[in-house]
């Protein structure tokens, strides 16, 4: 049904439709509205779920770890400092092969403290074994929450999924969406049937110690599953489109890339702004395009290769840093082309929108201008020179 | 064709509600509004903005608004030392809440400025100094972007009971206030 | 109190009009004086005093994270001991009720256990205000917050306040007190008393929040006062584990306290729920002997 | 600007929060003041000063108009007045 | 002075020589012996330092954050779960530009829990802004602790440094080292003079909130400093060799790479094993070599490029994973060659020694055999097929 | 006690010979019975019972991390409530003293505050044993551990035991008790009593560790017994905040307890230090009325 | 083997810790036993069983020889004997 | 030329001390030993290994030892169901602690096996069942890798007071015990 909703409320609505039996989260801007709305549903008897208010994110993640291990679909959401404070649990959940969906309202990391949007929080957990989706708009955001539960609980997957939505831009942005009706949701997402769980009838021991004779294979198994997930996601997306009539590739989205001379690679809500610029410049006959990465983990190297192999100039936008090295997304895109015959002449890497710095059409045009020049690495866009002066005078 | 609206207010003055009601009124016309706030780590009273960008197809542009078609100023004191009209299109329209004894800066030749006693209207209509709905009523009349009907629909969606009546009344009065001014010209 | 000295917390901070925490924080630092280093948890106080490039603090001040101010202060105290400066300089760790009773509790407990010479001040506005009024461990029973909303299936927060002063006391630290922004001399005396004692100290200050409690901004001090006068917020003082001070009251009905606050509005539809809150007050009055009549 | 850190103590004074006043502001009548200093002590902005009786006033550059001073003054010697009126007054003069 | 010492005790000795005024750490295998020995020094009055026993790693890191901010040189050490539990503080310390040295006794990450060695812990904090060194043997380990304090406190740097030593292999390994005498240490490492600190005479506010107008430049500043550090490290290494007579490049070490046809890229103690194999095969006339990465952050892309640009076949050994994508070191090595004219024909990526799986000469020979074939990505070495079967039967 | 039933903690685990924790853990789970789900913190118990691919547990058991067993148990409890199975199934969270009083304290406090129906069992062997005997918050005064070593400038651990039972009590939970592996029926009775009460429960069990305390393995129970008999480890029981049970003793000198343990060996060079420990025992004896003579 | 997790409860029984005994092992004399079951209850390995008096014995496949059973037996009916002796005895037989 | 030694013991039997003393004895000869333990999550009594790899130049190889030149077995019960000699070089030497009435498995033709009553020696020498030093003494005599002098130096470095004397005595007796056996042959 067509609605005009704030992103956070939309997410709460779709989560409600997925009927998690246990919800636990700890407040942090800009994730708060999601959890508050879920609290309302429970308070008003609209959602039958155990809403566990906890004393920290570490416990929020641990509570849902425990509830999923006990065989009940669960949900949590966080941001930034909260995601880092639970990071040990994040790795643990993936290592224990527990299915879960977490909404990450992307926000910058302290110090200095910032409540505004960039991708440093979820990107810095890219090694954890979690599947990660980055969404462009609210429709995509709610649809991928639904897909994520299916994916996560697939018995060939059994891995947690993080749906990453840009803080404020999407969490606090209000726009028109088509909210899937609960009946269809139920048909797409059956009740959770755990492969293994804590059960007095069949007492398992979960989370043992694995010495050097056993540990390595457990990592290998997760890595292999991620490879499988690259196959499973498009299948699920297809199934989703059959039920809901909205089509996703699930791994990437190509926008005017086919004949493009310059392509921007990006993730998240900035893709909307990039599309605007692409249309503008296309109207002026400029051959530009966008490659949107939707699934960042597993990293769809093959799909990205196919999409970019014939593009002369590629500009990768990173909204996070690996301080002292290549920006995370750029590094992997470049790696994807090593040893390949077909490849772009230039892959330049740009850093935009860090700590909430506004990304305008001009920012994107500047990127497209610079990608014409020689290869750039970690080129920061929209820096304020006066602040840099201050920096170096001290 | 895309329209951009920028709202200036103080945290606590309901700028986000204003953006929501504006957006919802467009939404009821079958358009695709994108409404979003921008605050510093805002506390009640701190200046903040809210934005609405609307188009006949889904809005994808996510940046803030620097060249608005329309500006709504919930508190004219915000214009002290800061140009709330900055970037306003040359044929842009500004709807400003009136504040007794407070001079509202002039606008450019082709720009239109409507100063509306929204707070006063609100006080009369429902006894709270929240001029948002009156301002949106005025906006509807000034810009003719949507009709009073849609706005009232939106208000019904957002408010209930006495608040609903009061805000509908305020919206109407804001609307009429501007109509009069227009016909006066 | 510093009558002629300029306050150590400067104006121009961005707290809401009528913020109780803003008042209390200035009173605390003015009582502590300029030879004080403060470690502050993330929260309203941190945000409204130090938005780059402007700081309201006139003393050395540090903010690291939400949950670690007690640990950061422990490092500062250790450094001062190493430098032989501890005697000359006070170390204060401070945060809101959430940063203290919930996510910061473990760091505080560790600091207590190590016996470090630090005063911890908890500004108790009874919810996570900086993030928009979510419940904390110190949110009172039946309070309507964004994560303990009142609804057809709920009267608000289902749990009583976590007994932080008792928990601090249980650690066996030499000084534990509650105070309120409403009783200024008492608050400032307690800060000075605490700083005169070596070892870990804990003071919990009741600070109304017009935004979160939904009360008129001019009522900040009045509401804090009523909180104490109803027995809902006992003003007590412990030295070395014994109760040495109790602020006596002639108990007022809790309605006086609940009425002006939006967070309790929903209760006035169901008087029997208000009785439960009266019961909490009555228990406190007995437990701590608050009733003036109790005076010998 | 390492950090960043803020090298200037009390630099928040640059931030004139007086502009936040929307509804009303305090008027210090300076008639019955007994110099109890309560208003000074409880002002959330710490923007009231004064020495002798009837000398107390606030710095409107910072006053947010919360009204606590007026509420607490034992002598009702502080009164909250509508923010406009003064401006209006000023206007009229012109 | 020539001594036969366990790695942990050697580290404790050099840290003692650096005279930290505050030490705080929380026990975790295999870091424990370092901290225990420091506790002994303090208990026996051999070291004048405040030894703060804490209730968790989060507080250990916060304590040293506080003590450095108060102007006193400080030290901490951890591993694995401990590093993750303090990860929020780790990012915070770098963001606050506080100089510190932390010893990471590298260990695998849970789940499953493992106390054995790999690099997942420190690698997963590679974005944090910390400088990271990985050491091959005990001599290097102690020497780099010394260099790290100098580097960290350099007023053009003011960033924390993590010295990563392999758990057990180095922490519990006993070997011959030359322990720098304290006099020389003092001459190389002057007392810490803070650029800024918490001081009642000059009251600063540290750790403010930075809104979108300011945040981005603080990240840029750290990133630029990392670039500078690439220049500063070799200078310091030179100075070090003048005082102590041991020569390091500080960024990388090349071992028989010049004329090599196959080069292994690796970090940490496995480099010793690789060198053995290199000598063996060289003796048989095989042109093989090793490129050891010493400084992983900042990432010495230029030095690596120079070292590998003419090597036909490169095998990168990773001892950690970015599950679902390229192994971390391999990804950056590949990225370093994008768009370059000179480059290896093959860069293959291998995963070895995860969760303490023993790395033998045969493991290395297998790698060198496989690098002759077509490009490998995340090729696991020494997996046990029987466990994989078990894995997939379930 | 399960006389014919097979134990729910199987042999073949890899605890040290004479491990007190191994004894207590079996006694606890046997008392709780098969309809119990256990969440275990990292520590000796976890390591010696579940080294892949073998588990000693006969009941559903989970280990996640060192500091979160109380939170994991909270999730399990919530899940059982959602499934409507909570009445039928016990939830136990357990860990060592470090995992409980130090790094796990915050999660426990949160679980207490939420009023969840969980029994928390702390196996108190008075140090971090799994990592090689480092001090914890529950390490006793003057104990020689690897991070509180005795040396020419130190007598060992400088702090008294963190008063965990009091801290638990301060949270206002319905049941708090200490027990010891030496008094088997008392321990198992307390486990059953606790599980019969709804809400959060805390039991702290004293479990000697031959390795960490450096005593002969056959003395495990004997030493635990003496700990109680000297008054150094009061065996007490609180229901709804009131002391309902105290194990009376005819106090023995603390030397009896210290002598057989390597961790206190260094003290016998300095008798006056031993006096300080005697003082701790004496205080306990008074505080809890342990002396048999006190009996009415 | 997801996780990994351990699907077989009590599988630790595969691990015969009896081999850990270095010094000595318990000898159940079965003379004065009163079936108080103390040894059963306190054995850290839970490897002692028995029903009637003088029927109690331990499973040497698991017994680590800690000696607590012997120490606690109120009747001194359990005795710790040097681990060798038996093997020796066995030897001699051969 | 590089030599590799593997020690089999139970956690608590001082395998690491043994490795240290072995290493230190080599160290005193100016060689470059690398001594390192390997345990499972070892508890007292659990089987574990320690290793020493030694060479005239610094040892770089970090792997465990699979083809030892020498094996030291502190507790022969470890050989039950597990081949402690696995990989022992064909001309390798094994020094095994004796255990009354316990059969030590046979070794290959060119391999040498010395069974030493180390525990007994230790009991006599200093009243503790810790046969490490006696075993190393025996090792010195059996392998002639270093002299008793170096071992005694090493013991002095590691132990003090009565423990020192006792262990030196034990080392000597272990040494002599093997010498006799050798000369006997
Ligand atoms: C680890 C972490 N979790 C959550 C947050 C978000 N956060 C910042 S302040 C705050 C609430 C502060 O509440 P309180 O401590 O009561 O202080 P107040 O703002 O009410 O004065 C929260 C949840 C954070 N910064 N870090
Ligand atoms: C976050 C984290 N820090 C440290 C460790 C290392 N560690 C594992 S168990 C343990 C000590 C356990 O001590 P305690 O809780 O007292 O249990 P015990 O082993 O004594 O039974 C430590 C420090 C860890 N696993 N995780
Ligand atoms: S929200 Fe409450 S605590 Fe925060 S600044 Fe406003 S009034 Fe103060
Ligand atoms: S109104 Fe409020 S802010 Fe203004 S002076 Fe009075 S107390 Fe201060
Ligand atoms: S170290 Fe102590 S607690 Fe751990 S298994 Fe051994 S005896 Fe038990
Ligand atoms: S000696 Fe110890 S392990 Fe063996 S049976 Fe007796 S109590 Fe059990």
Q: For residue E254, with 0-12 CB atoms within 10 Å meaning exposed, 13-18 middle and 19 or more buried, which class applies?
A: middle
Please give the residue of chain G at the shortest CA–CA distance from E110.
G3
Structure tokens, E297: 């952050």
Fill in the DSSP letter of residue F6. P
Backbone phi, psi, residue C5, to 5°: -65, 150
Query: G17-54 in b/e burial notation, b at 16+ Cβ within 10 A?
Result: bbbbbbebbbbbeeeebeeebbbbbbbbbbbbbbeeee
Contact G9 F216 (CB under 8 A): no
Mean per-residue pLDDT, H107-133: 94
Distance between CA atoms of E258 and E254, rounded to whole angstroms? 8
* CA nearest ligand 6 atom 2, residue: G66
Whole-number pLDDT of residue H101: 74
What is the Rg, in whole angstroms, of the alpha carbon atoms belonging to chain H? 15
Give the model's pLDDT for residue D77.
98
Touch between D and E (at least 3 CB pairs under 8 Å): yes
Please judge whether H101 and G89 are an interchain contact, meaning their C-beta atoms are less than 8 angstroms apart.
yes
pLDDT above 80 (res F83): yes
What is the reported pLDDT for D83?
Answer: 77
Q: C165: which 2 tokens?
A: 């002063």
Answer positive or negative: Cα dihedral of F249, F254, F256, F258: positive
The yes/no answer to whether this complex scores an ipTM above 0.85 is yes
The pLDDT score that the predictor gives to residue A391 is 45
pLDDT tens-digit map of A326-348: 999 999 999 999 999 999 999 99
Nearest atom in ligand 6 to the alpha carbon of residue G39 is 7
Percentage of residues in chain E having pLDDT higher than 90:
97
The model's pLDDT over B109-124, given as tens digits with 9 standing for 90+, comes to 999 999 999 999 999 9
What helix, strand, coil percent values describe chain G, rounded to 5?
A: 30, 15, 50
Over residues B159-184, the mean pLDDT reads 95
Q: Judge if the upstream peptide bond of residue F53 is cis by omega within 30 degrees of 0.
A: yes
Q: Which pLDDT value is given to residue C4?
A: 57
Calculate the dihedral angle through the C-alpha atoms of C33, C36, C37, C42, rounding to the nearest 10 degrees.
-40
pLDDT band at G93 (very low <50, low <70, confident <90, very high): very low
What are the backbone angles phi and psi of residue A388, rounded to the nearest 5°? Answer: -65, -40
Which residues have CB under 8 Å from E100's CB, separation 6+?
Answer: E64, E65, E68, E74, E75, E76, E93, E152, E160, E161
Nearest CA to ligand 4 atom 2: D66
- Residue G94: what pLDDT? 43
What is the average pLDDT across E55-61? 98
**Mean pLDDT confidence for F210-232:** 98
Please choose, from the candidates G43, F48, F16, the residue with its C-alpha nearest in 3D space to the C-alpha of residue H12: F16
End-to-end C-alpha distance for chain G, whole angstroms:
47
Chain H residue at shortest CA distance from F50: H41
Q: Would you say A58 and F74 are in contact if contact means Cβ atoms under 8 Å apart?
A: no
**DSSP label at residue C240:** T
| pLDDT score at D3 | 62
Report the mean per-residue pLDDT for chain G.
Answer: 88
pLDDT tier, F1 (very low <50, low <70, confident <90, very high otherwise): very low
CA-based angle C152:C157:C161, to the nearest 5?
Answer: 160
Side-chain half-sphere CA neighbours of H161 within 13 A: 0
**Separation between Cα atoms, residue D62 and residue D73, nearest integer Å:** 19
Question: C157 by DSSP, 3-state: which?
Answer: coil
- Pairwise CA distance, residues A394 & B52, whole Å: 41
pLDDT tens-place string over residues F93-146? 999 999 999 999 999 999 999 999 999 999 999 999 999 999 999 999 999 999
Phi, psi of B121 (to 5 degrees): -55, -45
The count of CB pairs under 8 A between chains F and H is 18
Chains that touch G (3 or more CB pairs under 8 A): A, E, F, H
What 3-state DSSP class applies to B21? helix
Element (H, E) at H185: none
**CB-based contact, C56 to chain D, within 8 Å:** yes
User: H52-63: per-residue pLDDT in tens?
Assistant: 999 999 999 999
Yes or no, beta carbons of C106 and F105 under 8 Å apart: yes
CA F174, F180, F186: angle at the middle one, nearest 5?
65
pLDDT score recorded for residue D92: 46
What is the spatial order of strands in the sheet that A288-293 belongs to?
A252-255, A288-293, A262-266, A313-318, A346-351, A379-380
Q: Which atom of ligand 3 approaches the CA of C16 most closely?
A: 6
What the block records as the tokens of A300 is 């769809």
Residue A24 in this model has a pLDDT that exceeds 80:
yes
- The DSSP element (H or E) to which G92 belongs, if any, is helix G83-93
Q: Is G88 a residue whose pLDDT tops 70?
A: no
Name subunits touching B (3+ CB pairs < 8 A): A, C, D, E
User: Which residues of H make CB contacts under 8 Å with A?
Assistant: 40-41
Contact A63, A52 (CB under 8 A): yes
Residue F4 has a pLDDT of 57
- CB of F124 sitting under 6 A from ligand 2: no
Nearest-angstrom CA–CA distance, A176 and B27: 7
Task: Tell me how far apart the alpha carbons of residues E252 and E134 are, in angstroms, rounded to a whole number.
Answer: 10
Q: CA geometry: angle at E327 spanning E326 and E328, to 5°? A: 105
CB D73 near ligand 4, within 6 Å: no
Note the ligand closest to the C-alpha atom of F126: 2
- What is the arithmetic mean of pLDDT over F263-268? 98
Q: Which is more confident, E165 or G92?
A: E165
The values of phi and psi at residue D16, to 5°, are -80, 90
Q: Is the pLDDT of residue C16 over 50?
A: yes
Q: What is the 3-class SS of chain A, one letter each residue?
A: CEEEEEHHHHHHHHHHHCCCCEEEECCCCCCHHHHHHHHHHHHCCCCCCEEEECCCHHHHHHHHHHHHHCCCCEEEEECHHHHHHCHHHHHHHHHCCCCCEEEEEECCCCCCECCCCCCHHHHCCCCCCCEEEECCCHHHHHHHHHHHHHHHHCCCCCCCEEEEEECCCCCCCEEEEECCCHHHHHHHCCCCCCCCCCCCCCCCEECCECCCCCHHHHHHHHHHHHHHHHHHHHHHHHHHHHHHCCCCCCCEEEECCCCCCEEEEECCCHHHHHHHHHHHHHHCCCCEEEEEECEEECCCHHHHHHHHCCCCEEEEEECCCCCCCCCHHHHHHHHHHCCCCCCCCEEEEEECCHHHCCCCHHHHHHHHHHCCCCCCCCEECCCCHHHHHHHHHC
Tell me, in angstroms, the distance from the centre of ligand 6 to residue G73's CA: 11
Using an 8 Å CB-CB cutoff, list chain H residues near G88: 100-101
Instruction: List the beta bridge partners of residue H5.
Output: H52, H70
D9 touches chain A (CB under 8 A): no
SS3 at position C206: strand
pLDDT at residue B12 in the model: 86
| Shortest alpha-carbon distance between residue A102 and chain G (Å) | 20
Whether pLDDT at B101 is above 80:
no
| Cβ atoms of residues A383 and E217 within 8 Å | yes
Q: What is the mean pLDDT of the segment spanning B147-164?
A: 96
Rounded to the nearest integer, the mean pLDDT of chain E is 97
Q: Report the 3 state secondary structure along chain E.
A: CEEEEEHHHHHHHHHHHHCCCEEEECCCCCCHHHHHHHHHHHHCCCCCCEEEECCCHHHHHHHHHHHHHCCCCEEEEECHHHHHHCHHHHHHHHHCCCCCEEEEEECCCCCCECCCCCCHHHHCCCCCCCEEEECCCHHHHHHHHHHHHHHHHCCCCCCCEEEEEECCCCCCCEEEEECCCHHHHHHHCCCCCCCCCCCCCCCCEECCECCCCCHHHHHHHHHHHHHHHHHHHHHHHHHHHHHHCCCCCCCEEEECCCCCCEEEEECCCHHHHHHHHHHHHHHCCCCEEEEEECEEECCCHHHHHHHHCCCCEEEEEECCCCCCCCCHHHHHHHHHCCCCCCCCCEEEEEECCHHHCCCCHHHHHHHHHHCCCCCCCCEECCCCHHHHHHHHHC
The mean-pLDDT minimum among A33-42, A383-392, C254-263, F15-24 falls in A383-392
User: Smallest Cβ distance to F221: which of G9, G13, G42?
Assistant: G42
Chains G and B touching, counted as 3 or more CB pairs less than 8 Å apart? no
Which chain E residues contact residue A337 at CB under 8 A?
338
Is residue A189 predicted with pLDDT exceeding 60?
A: yes
Q: Along chain D (94 residues), what's the average pLDDT of each consecutive run of 10 residues?
A: 82 94 91 97 97 96 97 97 61 46
Confidence (pLDDT) at B27 = 98
Q: What sections of chain D are H helices per DSSP?
A: 38-42, 68-72, 83-93
Contact B119, D22 (CB under 8 A): no
pLDDT, tens only, A121-163 = 999 999 999 999 999 999 999 999 999 999 999 999 999 999 9
Average pLDDT over residues F237-246: 98
Residue B78 in this model has a pLDDT that exceeds 60: yes
Do F51 and G17 form a contact (C-beta atoms < 8 A)? no
The bound ligand whose nearest atom lies closest to the alpha carbon of G38 is 6
At residue G87, the pLDDT reads 47
pLDDT of residue A306: 98
Residue C98 has pLDDT above 70, yes or no: yes
Q: State chain A's mean pLDDT as an integer.
A: 97
Comparing alpha-carbon positions, the chain G residue that sits nearest to H43 is: G20
């Amino acid at each position: 049904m067509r609605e005009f909703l704030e992103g956070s409320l939309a997410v709460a609505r779709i989560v409600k439709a997925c009927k998690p039996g246990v919800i636990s989260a700890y407040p942090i801007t800009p994730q708060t509205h999601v959890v508050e709305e879920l609290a309302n549903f429970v308070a008003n008897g609209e959602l039958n779920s155990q809403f566990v208010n906890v004393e920290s994110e570490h416990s929020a993640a641990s509570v849902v770890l425990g509830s999923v291990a006990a065989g009940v679909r669960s949900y949590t959401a966080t941001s930034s400092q909260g995601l880092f404070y639970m990071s040990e649990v994040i790795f643990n959940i993936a290592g224990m092969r527990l299915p879960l969906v977490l909404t990450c309202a992307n926000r910058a990391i302290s110090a200095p403290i910032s409540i505004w949007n960039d991708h440093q929080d979820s990107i810095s957990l890219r090694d954890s074994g979690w599947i990660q989706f980055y969404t462009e708009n609210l429709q995509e955001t709610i649809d991928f929450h639904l897909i994520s539960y299916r994916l996560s609980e697939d018995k060939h997957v059994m891995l947690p999924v993080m749906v990453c939505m840009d803080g404020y831009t999407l969490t606090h942005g209000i726009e028109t969406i088509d909210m899937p009706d609960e009946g269809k949701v139920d048909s797409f997402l059956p009740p959770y049937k755990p492969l293994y769980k804590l059960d007095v009838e069949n007492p398992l021991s979960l989370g043992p110690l694995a010495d050097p004779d056993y540990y390595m294979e457990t990592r290998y198994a997760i890595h292999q599953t991620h490879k499988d997930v690259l196959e499973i996601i498009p299948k699920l997306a297809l199934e989703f489109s059959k039920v809901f009539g909205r089509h996703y590739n699930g791994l990437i989205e190509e926008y005017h890339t086919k004949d493009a001379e310059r392509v921007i690679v990006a993730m998240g809500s900035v893709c909307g702004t990039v599309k605007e610029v692409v249309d503008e410049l296309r109207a002026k006959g400029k051959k530009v395009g966008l490659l949107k990465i939707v699934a960042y983990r597993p990293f769809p190297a093959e799909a990205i290769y196919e999409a970019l192999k014939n593009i002369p100039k590629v500009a990768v936008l990173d909204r996070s840093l690996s301080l002292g090295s290549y920006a995370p997304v750029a590094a992997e895109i470049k790696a994807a082309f090593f040893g390949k015959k077909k490849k772009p002449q230039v892959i330049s890497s740009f850093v935009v929108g860090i700590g909430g710095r506004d990304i305008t059409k001009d920012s994107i045009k500047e990127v497209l201008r610079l990608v014409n020049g020689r290869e750039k690495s970690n080129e920061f866009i929209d820096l304020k020179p006066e602040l840099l002066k201050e920096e170096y005078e001290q | 064709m895309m329209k951009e609206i920028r709202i200036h207010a103080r945290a606590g003055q309901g700028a986000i509600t204003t953006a929501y009601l504006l957006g919802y009124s467009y939404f009821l016309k079958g358009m695709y509004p994108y409404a979003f706030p921008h605050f510093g780590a805002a506390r009640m009273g701190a200046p903040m903005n809210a934005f609405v960008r609307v188009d006949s197809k889904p809005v994808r542009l996510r940046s803030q608004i620097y060249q608005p078609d329309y500006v709504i100023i919930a508190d004219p004191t915000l214009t002290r030392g800061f140009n709330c009209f900055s970037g306003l299109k040359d044929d842009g329209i500004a709807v400003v809440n009136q504040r007794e004894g407070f001079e509202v800066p002039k606008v450019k030749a082709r720009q239109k400025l409507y100063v509306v006693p929204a707070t006063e209207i609100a006080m009369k209509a429902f006894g709270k100094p929240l001029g948002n709905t009156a301002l949106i009523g005025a906006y509807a009349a000034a810009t003719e972007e949507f009709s009073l009907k849609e706005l009232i629909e939106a208000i019904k969606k957002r408010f209930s009971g006495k608040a609903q009546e009061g805000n509908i009344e305020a919206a109407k009065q804001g609307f009429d206030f501007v109509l009069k001014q227009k016909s006066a010209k | 109190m510093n009558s002629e000295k300029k306050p150590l917390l400067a104006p121009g901070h961005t707290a809401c009009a009528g913020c109780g925490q803003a008042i209390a924080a200035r009173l605390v630092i003015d009582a502590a004086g300029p030879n004080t280093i403060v470690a502050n948890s993330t929260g309203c106080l941190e945000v409204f005093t130090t938005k780059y490039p402007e700081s309201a603090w006139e003393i050395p001040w540090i903010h690291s994270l939400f949950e670690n101010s007690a640990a950061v202060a422990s490092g500062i105290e250790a450094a001062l001991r190493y430098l032989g400066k501890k005697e000359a300089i006070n170390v204060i760790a401070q945060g809101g009720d959430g940063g203290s009773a919930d996510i910061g509790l473990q760091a505080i407990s560790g600091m207590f256990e190590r016996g470090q010479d630090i005063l911890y001040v908890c500004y108790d506005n009874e919810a996570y205000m900086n993030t928009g009024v979510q419940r904390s461990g110190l949110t009172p029973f039946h309070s309507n917050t964004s994560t303990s909303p009142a609804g057809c299936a709920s009267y608000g927060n289902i749990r009583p306040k976590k007994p932080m002063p008792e928990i601090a006391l249980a650690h066996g630290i030499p000084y534990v007190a509650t105070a309120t922004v409403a009783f200024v001399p008492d608050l400032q005396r307690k800060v000075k008393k605490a700083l005169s004692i070596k070892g870990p100290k804990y003071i919990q200050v009741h600070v109304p929040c017009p935004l979160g409690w939904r009360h008129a901004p001019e009522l900040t001090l009045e509401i804090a006062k009523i909180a104490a006068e109803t027995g809902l917020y006992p003003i007590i003082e412990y030295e070395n584990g014994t109760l040495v001070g109790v602020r006596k009251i002639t108990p007022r009905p809790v309605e006086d306290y609940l009425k002006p606050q939006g967070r309790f509005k929903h209760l006035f539809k169901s008087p029997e729920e208000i009785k439960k809150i009266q019961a909490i007050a009555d228990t406190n009055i007995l437990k701590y002997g608050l009733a003036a009549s109790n005076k010998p | 600007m390492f950090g960043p850190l803020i090298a200037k103590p009390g630099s928040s004074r640059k931030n004139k929060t007086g502009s936040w006043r929307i509804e009303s502001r305090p008027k210090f009548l300076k008639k019955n003041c007994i110099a109890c200093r309560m208003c000074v002590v409880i002002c959330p902005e710490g923007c009231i000063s004064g020495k002798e009786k009837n000398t107390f006033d606030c710095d409107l550059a910072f006053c947010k108009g919360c009204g606590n001073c007026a509420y607490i003054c034992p002598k009702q010697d502080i009164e909250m007045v509508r923010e406009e009126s003064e401006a209006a007054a000023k206007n009229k003069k012109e």
